[in-house]
Structure 1
């Protein structure tokens, strides 16, 4: 009852003293994110909490991921390379996007029709997401994801405002929490190919599609399709007509001997796995 009352006072986002005390007490310990989850649930209900450090080149550091779902599609797909298509990962590369965002404000116009959404996002039963993006330094960005699953309501404006209100405090604590793990993570890597295994979508597409004699334009379109853009949205981004996009798309699919976005996505994920396997063998 008390928690429900606290969640009702979202405009002020008053933090529960006991929950805040438990979070501070466990700063720089393995239980920090469990207590962060508890604290956030005194302000707004969440089902999933994920904490990641993105970097400009290279795979991300997974600080925390807690989900009641089995199998764990986050570990099976997202962490293995599908994160490259995550709107929050893509936004982390734009310094102007630092702050709090709703997924719907970052995602392309056909995101829910994209194979990334169908093959990953829908499988984890997520219906809404709020994310914090905060630069740790010039190369690294902290991402805190708050998710709601099927059976819950979508985040509303007051809840978004409540999270935004406490975000500066959370950011300060997160910076302290992640310093040690980041320092360990960034110790010299002994094999080559790590950056290639986690290069931006367009870079992987260029390397992958070169063997199929795809043109530069077809490669650009492939990257945008994978991110969830419609033909119209792609045309706007590349300053060409939607009909021209359709022609390029048809030629690309013919070169790859495929007929759907699903097949394109699966080929892309296979390519990422090849990069990763090659890097581990080096």
Structure 2
């Protein structure tokens, strides 16, 4: 008695009746016909195949869209052979357009804004400098003195933003010192580092030119700059030194005495208070 198989076809959902030997012969013929497949895989730069007693592995590195398709594996030993297949779809960007490019018209979209951003060299975050910039010039405020900044600008229109243009070198924000500060900078630095009243009194009496409004303004600005760097201990120290000068200036204004006398009087009062 012949063995009969009822086999579903690939198309139309129909079934056919075939002898088992005939069915096996047709399958083997198709498997042996390499023309039915695009190519037989071999190990090369992008393709690597490994085998063991229990596992066969195919590795395709840097896959491309052309690798999409049906892959078939055939297992053969002395007794029989088996096959298996799978469908592989490689997802990726589309290929370059193949049709010709034709330009039918060009329209101009007016630039409506410039996006200007800054970044402290010690940070990785870009920060917008101004909401609206309509011209090729912009004034950027609230920059920390003695800090380096990078800047970039992008043009904006109704269609969106352009790629940003960055400066090639960071910009150092320098302190603009007036002539008085330039001449007394070293003495101001010694004074602002004082940690006790005795040392402060000694420096002010030796360098009485530090008792003035310009020195007070410099120390206030310097304390704010230190605070922006989160050095609150240093900010408190410099602020304290600025307050000493402020109190002495007020004493000069009220008593009409000279700076030396008012400096001595101020520190004598401190001795009584503390």
| TM-score, normalization by structure 2 | 0.23
More helix by share: 1
Larger Rg over CA atoms: 2
Structure scoring higher RCO (CA < 8 A, sep ≥ 6) equals: 1
Please state which structure has a larger fraction of its residues in strand: 2
